[in-house]
Amino acid sequence: QSVLTQPPSVSAAPGQKVTISCSGSSSNIGNNFVSWYQQLPGTAPKLLIYDNNKRPSGIPDRFSGSKSGTSATLGITGLQTGDEADYYCGTWDSSLSAVVFGGGTKLTVL
């Protein structure tokens, strides 16, 4: 059972938009920055979003992040088959004194 809650799977057609939610509490998302990672099959995770809504260099603006209260959202527009991957949210939990991750969301581009 992960501290952060993500939907196990989402799907959408190529070219469409999808959002992935990440729900937490005041001890984690509510008072700390959120980051998002993409894990393509058989590879290491890759940073997509940091500090709630910032993109590292090289990450296309099709990827966006937002946070409201104790929830965060990753948005992906213009879906491509290459976006099929597992997506994880992460943040610091002040009560646990630990980095916590969501359980991951598998994105299928139909």
Partner 1 sequence: QVQLVQSGAEVKKPGASVKVSCKASGYTFIDYYMYWVRQAPGQGLEWMGWINPNSGGTKYAQKFQGRVTMTRDTSISTAYMELSRLRSDDTAVYYCARDGAITGTTLWFDPWGQGTLVAVSS
Residue ranges that bind partner 1, judged by CB under 8 A: 2, 32-33, 35, 37, 44-47, 50-51, 56, 88, 90-92, 96-104
Strand partners, 35: 90
Residue whose CB is less far from partner 1, 32 or 71: 32
Closest distance between partner 1 and the C-beta of residue 65, in Å? 11
Residue whose CB is less far from partner 1, 78 or 99: 99
Residue whose CB is less far from partner 1, 14 or 60: 60
Closest listed residue to residue 73, CA positions, set 105, 100, 41: 105
Query: CA-to-CA distance for 98 and 101, rounded, in angstroms?
Result: 10
Closest distance between partner 1 and the C-beta of residue 60, in Å? 16
Tokens of 62: 């099709």
Query: CA-to-CA distance for 109 and 74, rounded, in angstroms?
Result: 16
